Amino acid sequence: MERLRFIKQAQHCGFTLAEVLALLQLRDGASSCCSDVRGKVIEKKLALEARIRAMKSMSKALDELIAACSNDARPTGNCSILATLASERTDT
């Protein structure tokens, strides 16, 4: 039951099953120390922060597409969102 709780808590923190396995191996390893575990957690946090930055960037890009749309009844051939997505952009 304790192992299952550990796995669930680790997953709640965003760890994949492979990463949970690595944490369990550290926990069970005689030569492992707390700094080894801390390193794994820091690594996960940095990866999460990178994903958050990427998602914020995507959200901003979507906001710009929405703002550029006049929301009228033009046919999709004249849709500003579709035209922007098809254009060559230099800001990506």
Q: What is the pLDDT along the chain (92 residues), one digit of tens a residue?
A: 999 999 999 999 999 999 999 999 999 988 999 999 999 999 999 999 999 999 999 999 999 999 988 878 888 888 989 999 998 765 65
Q: How many helices (H) and strands (E) does the chain have?
A: 4, 0
**Under DSSP, is residue 69 helix (H, G, I), strand (E, B) or coil?**
coil
- What is the spatial distance between Cα 6 and Cα 49, in angstroms, rounded to a whole number? 23
Residue 79's nearest CA partner among 89, 88, 87, 69 is: 69
Place of tokens 């690594």: 43
Domain coordinates of the chain in residue numbers?
2-86
Architecture field, domain 2-86: Orthogonal Bundle (1.10)
Task: State the pLDDT at residue 91.
Answer: 60
Task: State the pLDDT at residue 66.
Answer: 93
- What is the spatial distance between Cα 44 and Cα 24, in angstroms, rounded to a whole number? 15
